[in-house]
Every structure is written in structure tokens, then in C-alpha cells.
Amino acid sequence: MADYIVDSGYLDGVMRGFHTALLSQGDYANLTQAEQVDDLKVHLLNTDYGPLFQDVPSPLTANAVAEACTAKMVEEFRYIRANAYEPLATFMDYITYQYMIDNIILILGETLRDGDPQVALTKCHPLGMFEGITAICVAQTPADLYQLALVNTPLAKYFISCLAVEDLDEVHVEIIRNLLYKEYLRDFYQYVTTKLDDDTAEVMGDLLRDRRSLSITVNSWAAGLSRDERLRLYPTVGELGTEGQQRLASADDMEGVMAAVETIDIYRNMLQRLQESGTSKTLEDEFVEEEIKINQISMAREFQYGAFYAYFKLKEQEIRNIVWIAECIAQKKKDRIHQFIPV
């Protein structure tokens, strides 16, 4: 605790100050009453997002809302990273790797479609930008991209661990994304459990648990993935363990998934709620709600680095909520405007 206070106490206070500025229920109520997307700007100018909206021209679009809100999150993240000492500095770097993976997959998708990778570059998340990303955009073939990824990205070790150059031609981009995430989560979890304190390791164990394994299973039914292909994609982090993952990989319907996780309270309860909700909720909705709860619990625990991870996940969800509201207004679907999950 003493080391944490000395090394990261100031930034912990800064981050918790950011957390207190998350939108309130009253803020959400005001946003959902807007008649035009421009009306959102009037309210957001009175929040911490205000400075980012001052120079955004009218008429405001949902994309402009997303860009301005994301710019606020990036500003906060970069302030903390720029002032962080170890081990927080490396911890923050690990958070950026997930965005780097998504950015590279965007560029790879354009390359495989013989599109313009520069177009994908404009859609990349700012936290996933890195010095060599423009070099990757000059790749003419998947093989070129693979070699450039090994040279120009911090993700090289993940590529080497799980992919061969021919995979980029033969394997669907979403499978490549899942393979990279598998290696990333394994590496991140190893870092927090071997280099950081026990409290952080416990919190991050909760935050990095088996969500991807369950999502991969459900999504694989339409994709036609075999049992072995599912197993190859499952992250090794979580409570399922080898036997649980074996059972999950054999599941071909939701009943099979429920049977595979019946001994793990959090998943059993979540799937029961999903079953009881009928068609009003998706598995993704349940995961988001559960993750918000876990992130909020993490924020309540002091003197551990998981709170930084949790805060930015909550911020990300808040931005998704604001953009959802903006999209509903822009598309004149206000009957769906309340279908978001507040943090």
C-alpha cells in the first residue's frame, strides 16, 4: 500500500476525480429528452465533455459526438500515462494493446478486401495508434502486413505465438482477432499476477475472466466452428479451467452452455436471467451489465491498479451510451432511446 501511495497516489486521486464526473441519472434524463442531435451539445457543454464540444460545428452528427467524447477519454488516459511511474506505466500500456489489436484487424480487413488501408486508419481508435501503424498501412498483401506487424508493433510477440503468415490469407479476420486477444489476455494476466500486488491480481482476475470464451461459443454456432476450433480460441484466463472449457466447446445450444458453467455462480445466474428475459436481452447485454458491476466494485477497492482499468471501461460504456442516444435521435427511433446500460 505504501509503495502504491508513493508511486501512484496522485494519479489515483486524479482518476477518481474523473470518475466523479461520469454522467448522472439526471444527465441521462436530459440527454434522452433532446429532439435534435444538436440539443445534446447544449447539455454536454455543461459536463466534463464541454471543452471538446465547444468547437464542434453544427449540425452535430452522431459520429461527431463519438469523436468528441472519445477525445475526452483519450485526453484523460494520456494524462495519466504521461505522468505514471512504474508499475502503473506498464499497466496502462497493456490497456492500449487491446485497441492496437482492433486497429490492426481493421487494417487487415481492408488489405484482404483489396481496399484502402488508409480508410481503415481513419476509423482506428486513438488509444490503439502507435509509431509504426502508418508503415503497416502500406502493406500490399497479408504477408507484407504480417512482417510489418512483427517489426513495427508492440504486438509482435502475440503474432509469433499464435499466427503464421499463411493464416492471414486463410483464416477469417475475426478468428485472428480472437487468437490475438487470447495471447494478449494471457500475457496481461501473467503480468498482473507476477509483477503487481495481490489485490490488483484479484481484481483483474475478475475483470479478465471468461466472457470471451462464452461469446466465442455462442457466436461460433452460426460460423460453423468445430469443437477443436473453439478450444483453440478460448483464452486461458478465467474460472472455467481446462475441464470447463472442454464442456463449453462441446455445447451446441444455450442449454449446453448452461450445463458447462453450472458450477460457476456468476455465469449460471447470468444465463438464468437471460433465459427468463425472453427476447428482451442478449448475452452481450448480460455481460455488459455484469462487467459494469464488477468495474464499480473495483473502483470501490482502494490502493490497487485495477481501478484504473475499471474506470476507463466505465468511461467507454458511458461513451457508447451517449452515442446510442445520438444515433436514436438522428435515426428518429426515440422509442429505443432508453435501451442503453447506464454506469
Residue 120 or residue 93, greater confidence: 93
Share of the chain above pLDDT 90, in %: 76
Task: Output the pLDDT for position 211.
Answer: 87
Instruction: Please check whether residue 228 is in contact with residue 216, taking contact to mean a CB–CB distance below 8 angstroms.
Output: no
Domain count along the chain: 1
The arithmetic mean of pLDDT across residues 219-226, rounded, is 90
pLDDT grade, residue 170 (50/70/90)? low
Does the residue 313 lie in any domain?
yes
Is the overall model pTM greater than 0.75, yes or no? yes
Q: Residue 318 maps to which CATH number?
A: 1.10.132.50
452515442: which residue's cell?
A: 323
Residue 160 near residue 147 (C-beta atoms within 8 A): no
Question: What per-residue confidence (pLDDT) applies to 208?
Answer: 86
Instruction: Name the band, by pLDDT with cuts 50, 70 and 90, for residue 217.
Output: very high
Q: Average pLDDT for residues 186-214, to the nearest whole number?
A: 93
337 domain residue, yes or no: yes
pLDDT (mean) for 207-236: 91
- The answer as to whether 24 is a domain residue is yes
Residue 333: pLDDT over 90:
yes
Within a domain: 331: yes
Cis peptide before 87 (omega within 30 of 0): yes
In a domain, 268, yes or no: no
What are the pLDDT digits (tens) for 232-253?
999 999 889 999 999 999 999 9
Nearest to 310 by CA among 6, 22, 2: 22
Per the domain annotation, does 40 fall within a domain? yes
Cα(40)–Cα(330) distance, rounded to whole angstroms? 11
> Within 10 A of 183 (CB to CB), how many other CB atoms are there?
21
CB of 84 within 8 A of CB of 8?
yes
Host domain of residue 323: 9-83+306-343
| Range name among 96-100, 270-274, 299-303 with the lowest pLDDT average | 270-274
Cell of 120: 481503415
* Mean pLDDT over each residue of the chain, to the nearest integer: 93
Please check the confidence at residue 279 and state whether its pLDDT lies above 80.
no
323, 324, 326, 328: CA torsion to nearest 10: 160
Poorest-confidence range of 51-60, 127-136, 223-232, 272-281? 272-281
pLDDT classification of 283: cutoffs 50, 70, 90:
confident
Residue 128 forms part of a structural domain: no
Q: What pLDDT, in 10s, does the model give residues 94-149?
A: 999 999 999 999 998 888 887 788 888 999 999 999 988 988 888 877 788 888 88
Among 129-143, 152-166, 311-325, top mean pLDDT goes to: 311-325
Residue keyed to cell 460457476: 264
Residue pair 79/11 in contact (Cβ under 8 Å)? The answer is no
Cα separation of 209 and 186, whole Å? Answer: 11
Q: What is the pLDDT of residue 143?
A: 82
Q: Length of the chain in residues, anyone?
A: 343
Q: Which residue has the higher pLDDT, 19 or 238?
A: 19
pLDDT at 301: 95
Longest Cα–Cα distance in the chain: 56
According to the model, what pLDDT value does residue 13 have?
Answer: 98
Q: Would you say residue 295 lies in a domain?
A: no
| pLDDT of residue 274 exceeding 80 | yes
Look at residue 51 and tell me whether its pLDDT is greater than 70. Answer: yes
